[in-house]
A and B are shown apart, each in its own frame.
Chain A
Amino acid sequence: MLLLECPYCKEARDEQEFSYAGEALIQRPALDCSDDEWGVYLFHRKNPKGIHLEQWSHALGCRKLFMVERSTIDNTIHAIRTFESLAADKQQAQGDEQ
């Protein structure tokens, strides 16, 4: 049973309060993409042995979703990020490039 630190409640909570919400950072392709591309988006998942980027929802707490970097080997939580902070990082990176 994992203990996850909700980045909004700022407190570690028991896994029972959360629900797993799938792999994180899946890019939704443009709708004029090929059937194959759409199929990959719908059904293909990484399932890595090692670090997995995944979404969790604090379903029975604050109901916010966030991203967890978890090792599928030993369940070590390497990082927890909010989507806001990821978006801010992305913007920052784009700004740096320009």
Chain B
Amino acid sequence: MKRLSTQPCERIDRSAPLYFQWQGKRYQGYAGDTLASAMLANDIALVGRSFKYGRQRGIMAAGTEEANALVTLETAGYHTPNARATETELYDGMSAIAGSGVPSLNSDMRAWLKPFHRFMAAGFYYKMFKWPQKLWPVYEDNLRKLSGFSKAPDSNDAEIYDHQYHHADIAIVGGGPAGLAAALNAANAGASVILVDERHAVGGEMISDCAGNEAAKAWFAETLAALEAHDNVRMFPRTTAYALHDQNLLLALERRQDHLPLGARNPHVSRQRSHRIRAKQVILATGSHERPMMFANNDLPGVMLAGAMRRYLNEYAVLCGDNPVIAGNNDSIYDLAADLLRAGIKATVVDCRSGYDAGALTSQGVTVRQGYAVVDAIEKQGRVGAVKIAQTTLKGNKWTQGSAQEVLSCDALATSGGFSPLVHLDCHTGSKPAFDADFQAFMPACDKPNRFVAGSIRGHSDWQGSAADGAYAAAQAVEKIPSVSPFTKGSTLQQSQEVIEGSPPLQKGEQGGFNSPQPKSLNTAPFLVLEQGRGKTFIDMQNDVKASDIELAIRENYRSIEHIKRYTALGFGTDQGKTGNVNGIAIAAEVMGRDIAEVGTTTFRPMYTPVTLGALAGEEIGLLFDPQRFTPMQASHIANGADFETVGQWMRPWYFPKAGEDMHAAVQRECLATRSELGMMDASTLGKIDIQGPDAREFLARVYTNAWEKLAPGKCRYGLMCGEDGMIKDDGVTACISDTHFLMTTTTGGAASVFTHLETWLQTEWPELNVYLTSVTDHWSTTAVVGPKARRVMEQICDDIDFSAENFPFMDWREGTVLGVPARVMRISFSGELSYEINVQANYGRYIWDKVTEIGRQYNVTHYGTESMHVLRAEKGYIIVGQDTDGSITPQDANMGWAVSTNKTYPFLGQRALSRSDSMRPDRKQLVGLYTQDPQKVLPEGAQLVNAEGDNAMIGHVTSSYMSPILGRSIAMAVVKGGLSRMGETIYAKPLSGEVVPLTIVDSIFYDQAKEKLDGEA
């Protein structure tokens, strides 16, 4: 292998030599090289070890279909595992090591096991490592060390990723002649176009065509220039379309900085970007992948696809061998022979067919052996050194092989077993490709609306045909876009025909329009599956699946290709069987004696090629993984030293530790201060829904379990909400503003779902109710002033409300002016203490909070967070929906039958379900209080409850559990089977710690059962 002098259409920049490291050794390449082309130019044959047998592997392709050359790039934050060398653009200073080889690439453990390889066929792991079962952890540990390719990164990614959304009339995948012609013709017609192409520059396989063809070269240059002049065309090179979802949502990964030296990468620019493209029409011009020929030892280094050898020659000026053999079953192999001849190399062509007129080549010294096929490749110094060939004849679809074999020496072997259209994207939305005997390939169904295929995916084999097909697809696509004018639509196709010289003429169809251009045939012969050497014929290089493995699977009675795939691992891994799948299907068909069409393909699912997790996450990582919602008081909470907890998406102060305090100490202090003097808490996160309309009251009666007809303006009421299944869904206080106007509060976490629930009932079941719901959660900020001294503070900050207990009783609300700001003050309590909630427009929230804090200092005001709130409410036995209930608790289960009114004119949601026999069972889990018999023992929440020490039958679990500062003992709430009728009984908790904790069932109101504290200090 060597670098040739300048080739006619090479895409390397010889004025820009680059240096890179492979396995710690320094080599030189050029700008424009891929890592693979630079390795080949440096005569590096061994690039990896195979998955199962540790066999030596070399570069076998020139693009995404590479199955062997998986390498690890760079280290630490730039460590990139399993990069395909063939897709990796070379940059100066690149450091790459092999992704496989234990302990080293040159000496692999798995290869040492060679004598045992014949026992390691498909299913070997399942059969071998099953016994004894207890040894599995040992097996697994060792197998894991051996399996896979590159090591996973061991540090955080140093680079950033992002997303971008696009909208276009037409999205085109593939920048070969079909894609380019489609883009230009669509753009000429006035459509907006996005074209993505996975290579660093467009052109596709056309670059090789340009090498010997001035017309091709001219068309390519003109088309490219015309596209660049269009401002309605966006072209994304280095961008792989990896999924095509419903209604033309195309996902594509752009490698924005991977081609740059590490030092030249802009840290403010994403390394990779995931594009989400929504297009009215999609044209798939994705091309096809060449299939290798199947014969023994077809995986030796030096054996590669013919098209790859041609690309290395034409695009990179790399000669893969001085004495190559080209073996194949279709006309394309002669193109490679001709290109090699131009470079001064006389290859030997081994064509299993007969009849191709190769006179132009033979007359110049190229040896052509028609009716012969390679049956075995022979190793010489770590790479292919010779091939055995034998005569082949085709009868029907079955090949027979002559007994005489001949050995041809060589230093490289290029093979072409036909072409498989890249139907992947077309299949992502459920279409099934169909086998076509003329092309010897599975062709795309393209049966989804607003989608077209063009070029070699449709079987075109020359650039003119592909270009004409692309233009045709564009004409079809623009026809379906209403915003494109009919005049331009009509002229597009005509023009394109005139421009593409030598393209197949369009035939008039029966309907008056044109039929699409007919592909020029490569005369691909049926799959050549020989009897000889199937145990060494590799079908799936990446997973070491051999022809004999597929035979074995069928012998063991796997019949569906999906099962054969999973038993053998055919088409697994990062490669997903790009070159191997169809060959595997052909073997399965041959062994089962069925048609390939009947066997069918496995299912193509996204992603087409691996996508980094970083690109999937984009910018939504770390603190931006999910929105953190803040109340207007956030800045003050931070200044006051709060620790935060996430409730739904909200960040709420959890507790406010003073120097040296842990959470326990802080909560102790906060609770006692609130019960003895004055506490403050931020209640802004509760959901708030403004309910207005003549039927507002009726609406409340239907969605809450309790009665609402008598609630007067100025009053508040606690409401319990059930779903139609009778289970508690939410709770909260609703204030009556006027007869037709209410303000509902919901739990913090339930706000969105309650709002949706209410809207759904209004819009679907009760359209007759005249009610408007408006979310005002963010409009109001809420400062709760809590404790025996709360009234004193309120009187100081508001002079237009009478705060006396007689004139402003519990569960009333007043409108007034607090510290100069219009406010609604509600006297409600979630702690059992005297408590006022000051609601003001969010813009004044922090002002009110800070001012009340300042004024409250004279009463030793203490800020408290959600943890103390939980303790204070548990002391009073108030439930938290979602903690003490879990979607299986009815109001009766929660001992809240008092909140259920069954004599409404229109029964409330859930009422019917409450009389189901299951809802009436006496042994339902019911909410009770628990005292640990050791008052200092605090149970873990979630601890399982049992009847007797020795029991394991669960009768319930602990839902809430705290050390109560005011009671000086541990308290807990729990759901217990039939618990409400078991007061005073002893049961046991069995937490995960293994202890057994004796408990007494008690009432769940632990503190101030007489409600003496509700009115504050005397």
Residues of chain A touching chain B, judged by Cβ–Cβ distance below 8 Å, are 1-3, 14, 19, 21, 28, 31, 33, 35, 38-39, 41-42, 55, 57, 59, 63-65, 73-75, 83-84, 87
Contacts and interface: CB of A to CB of B under 8 A. Distances in A.
B724 A2 contact: no
A83 B767 contact: yes
5 contacts: A21-B760, A41-B724, A74-B448, A75-B247, A83-B767
B759 A65 contact: yes
Interface string B444-463: 00001000000000000000
B765 A59 contact: no
Contacts of A19: 756
B917 A75 contact: no
B751 to A, nearest CB: 13
Given A1-B245, A35-B917, A57 B756 contact: yes
A83 B762 CA distance: 12
B249 interface: yes
Given A74-B429, A84-B767, 12 more contacts: A14-B278, A31-B912, A35-B917, A39-B916, A41-B724, A42-B725, A63-B759, A73-B430, A74-B430, A75-B247, A83-B763, A83-B764
A50 to B, nearest CB: 14
B764 A65 contact: yes
B246 A75 contact: yes
Contacts of A33: 912
B86 to A, nearest CB: 31
B247 A38 contact: no
A87 B916 contact: no
Interface string B155-195: 00000000000000000000000000000000000000000
A52 B247 CA distance: 18
B774 to A, nearest CB: 10
Nearest to B918: A35
Contact of B759 (A42, A57, A73): A57
A64 B763 contact: yes
Interface in B752-811: 756, 759-760, 763-765, 767
Nearest to B757: A21
B760 A57 contact: yes
B907 interface: yes
Contacts of B429: 74-75
- Considering residues B430, B765, B912, B916, which has the most beta carbons from chain A within 10 angstroms of its beta carbon? B912
B911 A31 contact: yes
Nearest to A41: B724
Contacts of A31: 907, 911-912
Contacts of B912: 31, 33, 38
Nearest to A36: B916
Contact of B247 (A2, A42, A83, A84): A2
A5 B775 CA distance: 25
Contacts of B756: 19, 21, 57, 59
B996 interface: no
Interface string B885-928: 00000000000000000000001000111001100000000000
B430 A35 contact: no
A70 B310 CA distance: 48
A2 B917 contact: no
B775 to A, nearest CB: 9
A65 B278 contact: no
Given A3-B278, A57-B756, A74-B430, A42 B724 contact: yes
A1 B907 contact: no
- Considering residues B245, B278, B763, which has the most beta carbons from chain A within 10 angstroms of its beta carbon? B763
Contacts of B245: 1
Would you list the 4 A-B pairs with minimal beta carbon distance, nearest first? A3-B247, A75-B246, A31-B912, A65-B763
Contacts of B759: 57, 63, 65
Contact of B765 (A28, A35, A75): A28
A14 B277 CA distance: 12
Contacts of A21: 756, 760
A21 B247 CA distance: 21
Contacts of A3: 246-247, 249, 278
Contacts of B430: 73-74
A31 B702 CA distance: 14
Nearest to B724: A42
Contacts of A41: 724
A65 B767 CA distance: 12
B249 A1 contact: yes
B763 A2 contact: no
A60 B430 CA distance: 29
Contacts of B724: 41-42
Contacts of A2: 246-247
Given A31-B911, A65-B760, A74-B430, A87 B767 contact: yes
A59 B752 CA distance: 10
A54 B66 CA distance: 45
Interface in B410-435: 429-430
A21 B756 CA distance: 9
B15 to A, nearest CB: 46
Contacts of A14: 278
A56 B247 CA distance: 17
Contacts of A38: 912-913, 916
A86 to B, nearest CB: 10
Contact of B246 (A1, A59, A63): A1
A59 B757 CA distance: 11
Nearest to A82: B763
A2 to B, nearest CB: 6
Contacts of A64: 763
A10 B247 CA distance: 17
B305 to A, nearest CB: 35
Nearest to B447: A74
A75 B246 CA distance: 7
A28 B913 CA distance: 13
A31 B765 CA distance: 14
Contacts of A83: 763-764, 767
B562 to A, nearest CB: 19
Contacts of B764: 55, 65, 83
B812 to A, nearest CB: 32
A77 to B, nearest CB: 8
B288 to A, nearest CB: 25
B582 to A, nearest CB: 25
A73 B765 CA distance: 29
A31 B907 CA distance: 8
A87 B246 CA distance: 30
